[in-house]
Structures are given as structure tokens and as C-alpha cells.
Structure 1
Amino acid sequence: MLRALALLLSLLPALARAETLRVAVASNFLPAAQEIAAIMTDEGWDVRLSGGATGALYAQIRHGAPFDLFLAADQARPAALEAEGRGTAQPYAVGRLVLWSADPALIGEDPVAALRGARVIAIANPDLAPYGRAGAEVLDALGLAQDAPLVMGQNIGQTAGLVATGNAPLGFLAAALTPVGGSRWDVPGDLHAPIRQDMIVLSPGPGAERFIAVLQSDEGRALLEDHGYDAPEAVTP
């Protein structure tokens, strides 16, 4: 009996890891989340990531999608879920906004002139994507919002594709998704509200705990920096 109990206890960690962790991830954070998932996979976890616009993922959760953890690109949606008693929201990253063009000479030293002269500017849908909302705030701060010729992606990943393929000469992207090369302007933070990204555990369990532990570790902080984010304490709530 004691041997059987000891064997069962020794198997508990493996049994816990066999459970699938389902994570809803804002498009901009998907590459970083994939690295965390790879670390956990090497440890024996089964991690399933679903990327998309924060607003769209939030709608899926509200309609019963079985996610265990939600990594949003804003504060509003996790806060709304917290208000419904779904969990406790907490910050995990602060995003950086970049104006990018595949043309190495387009943006140059005068990004405002590049915006004024653009035939079209790619931006994520501000109603769905926080980086799109930040881009709209930048245009407003520069006095360009009213007449800006915009083409909208449904999420920041789709918006990056519009610029990378030349369908738009330039666009506002997350630093995490900005391609190498071309020309860029790292948008000053005082031109838009901080892009603080919050997460919320929807279904507590060892998988979600481990994901957050990796994210908040020294390795996770280095990963944030590598992918173009600041740590949450970089911005005062």
C-alpha cells in the first residue's frame, strides 16, 4: 500500500504536466509566448497558443472559449474579466510602438514628413488592437488624424504584413513585430498612452503557474527585452 502511494505521488508532477495549457495571446506577443511555450515543452508540458487581436480573443472568452490564460495587449479586457469574477488581472509587459517602412530611405530623419506624404498608412484597428489605438493617438498628437489615409489590419500581425508586402508604404507596428531592415522611427512614449499589457488566469492550475513563473523569471525578463518590451514596473499604473 505504501509503495503504491509513493509511486502515485512520484507520478503527480508528470500527470499535471500532461494536462493541456490553452493560452490566448495578443498577436504582438505571440513570438515571445512561443519561446516560453518551447521552454515548457522541453520540460514536458503541452502548451497550445491561440494568437489574435485582443478584442477578438476577449469576445471568444466571453462566448465560452476554454482558455486557461489570457495575455492581452491592453489593460481593459483583463480588467473587464476581473470585474466578472474570472480572476485577477496583472501586468506582464509594456509595449513599444514603431513606425516602420520596408523602404530604407522612406522615413529618414523626418518621420512626420513621411507620414504627411504617405499615400496610405497601415494601422491596426483601434477598436480591437491597443497598438492601433496607440498609433491613432500618435496621429492625433501630430495633428494628422483627420486626413490620414489609413488602411486597417484586424490585428497588429496583419498590419505588419500589410507593410512588409508593400500594400502600405509604412505603418505603426509593435516593436516586437518590426522586421529587420527598412527604415523606422521608435515613437516617443509621450505621444501615446502607455501600452501596458495585462494578463489574467482564467483557469488556475500548474500549467498557468509555470508559464507565469517563466515569464517573470530573469530569463523571461531578458526575453521581454529581446522582443521589444519593457518590464511592467517601467510604467506607473
Structure 2
Amino acid sequence: MNLSTRLLIVDDDVGIRGLVSSFLEKHGFHVDTAANVAEMNAMLAAQPYALIVLDVMMPGEDGLSALRNLQKSGGPPVIMLSAVGTDVDRIVGLEIGAEDYLAKPCNPRELLARIRTVLRRVAAPAVASPVAAAAVPDEAAEAVYFEGWRLDLAARMLFDPDGAVVTLSDGEFRLLRTFVQSPRRVLSRNHLLDQALGAGSESYDRAIDVQISRLRRKLSFGEARANLIRTVRNEGYMFTPAVTRQPPSS
């Protein structure tokens, strides 16, 4: 079975699980369901999934707590569903690491469209940036260094100044890669959105600010907490440190 078609629906409402899974299976997906986070974890331990549709409000561990744990363990992309659909709640879900967020009840066709968009975004290679061409001396470099950090471009891994791995979502990695390819240059929100989420993304217009906020937190280190990504009012963002292909001399 193709991993890209395997989905997991996690919702305590048996009716929603049945309706959503039946609809998605008619459109070519293989769908498993779980009634709570404990069942979800057991199913994830048994096999991989391309994407999880996760309800927020469930008895026992809630969806936001489960999302935090999935982010720590490098789990599959997640679309959140919630009966609470305010902008604040949506932003909280996106801040934690959800790829998308829909209010319940949602139209199954809209959910299908969001699932396809996320899967395309995760699978598609980042679009080469015309600005980036002259920014890094060797575009084939497998790793770059900045302020004691190391970004392994080949392995898609980020290491903090102590050498510990910092887990990045696919969007966060694409965003950071775009920044290190164009250090000390102002990049517009639209350009960053295309690079991080894919050209023609259906995300709302402040999605890149959420991604920047997540990435800033992950790039915070030690007591200094240097802000490596500077906001340039009305223009976009700038990655402030120098970026090199060589590790700093000891």
C-alpha cells in the first residue's frame, strides 16, 4: 500500500469517524480511525501514516497535547478539527505545529481539499529562489553554519550550538533553508510563504507569521536568546547572521 494514501482519523465521535473515513476512502485513500489519543499512539506504533486528522476536544488527552507530542517525535503532518473555530484557537493550533485547522462541522469536500494540499506541500521539493542564487557561495553545500548553529541541508537536520538536534517540521526546514540561502536580505512574506508552504498555497495571509514565530522559538538558545530573524516593517523578514559553509574555527 502506498504510504501517501494512508490516513488516520482521530475523533471520539463515532459518527464523524465513519462519515469522514467513508468519504475519503471513496476518493482513493486508505483510512484508519482511532477514538482517542491512546488508540492513535498504538496505531502509529504499528505502522506509518502520511497524515493525521486530529480532533481537539476528546476525553482523556486532548488533541493539542497530542499534537505537541507528535511534533517532539517528528510525527506525520496534522490537520486539526475543532468545534471551537475562533482565530485565536486556530492560531494556537498552528503555532504548536498543525499544518492546517478546520472548524467543525466541516464539509468533507473541504477537508479532502485541505488534505490534498498538505500532502502536495510535504511531498513537493522547494522552489528554487532567484534571490538565493548568489547568496551562498556553493549551493551544493551539504551543511551551513551560523552563530554556532549547523543546518545539514542533505539530512534536513538542525543542530544547536551544543550539538543537540532541533526538530523541524517540513515547513520550518524549508523556511530556514530559504533564509540561509539569502542571509542579510529582506525577504517578502509572499516569497517566504511560497518557499515554506509551496507556491499557490491555500493558507491564510498571516500563515507565514505563524511559521516565523515557531522558527524563532526553535532558534532561541541560552540566556542571550538572540533574535536571528528580524522583522522589517511593511517589507518582510531578514535573517541577520552571517552564513558560511565552514564551521567556525575553534
TM-score between both structures, scaled by the size of structure 1: 0.29
**Which protein is richer in helix relative to its size?**
1
> Which structure has the higher relative contact order (CA within 8 Å, separation 6+)?
1
Structure whose alpha-carbon radius of gyration is higher: 1
**Which protein is richer in strand relative to its size?**
1
